[in-house]
């Protein structure tokens, strides 16, 4: 019956089709109202939980933080001396 009313309403008055479609959905799926209410309650609980945490804060990234946390490796003394003088270190075979 609701489907027939929906089709007739669409043909006669297209502006009221939305209301007829909502009535059709209520007639065909009566449990959706309760399911939607439960879903809305869960969503509101999640939102309240997030709001209770306080405002979202952003901090600027310190560019020196990466450099400070990068491990420093030292070269063997002989290799460092040769490179300082501008020569090429000898490669062992």
The C-alpha atoms of residue 79 and residue 85 are separated, in whole angstroms, by 10
User: Do the Cβ atoms of 23 and 16 come closer than 8 Å?
Assistant: no
Per-residue tokens: 48: 């309240």
The dihedral through the CA atoms of 75, 76, 77, 78 has a sign that is: negative
> What pLDDT sits at residue 44?
94
pLDDT at residue 8 is higher than 90: no
Q: What share of the chain is helix, strand, coil (3-state, %, to 5)?
A: 70, 0, 30
Average pLDDT over the chain reads: 81
What is the pTM (predicted TM-score) of this model? 0.35
Q: Where are the domains of the chain?
A: 2-52
């Amino acid at each position: 019956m609701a489907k027939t009313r929906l089709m007739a309403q669409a043909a006669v008055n297209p502006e009221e089709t939305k209301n007829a479609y909502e009535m059709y959905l209520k007639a065909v799926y009566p449990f959706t109202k309760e399911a939607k209410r439960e879903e809305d309650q869960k969503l509101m609980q999640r939102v309240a939980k997030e709001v209770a945490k306080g405002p979202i804060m952003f901090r600027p990234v310190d560019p020196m933080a990466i450099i400070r946390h990068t491990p420093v490796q030292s070269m063997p003394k002989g290799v460092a001396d040769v490179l300082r003088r501008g020569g090429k270190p000898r490669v062992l075979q």
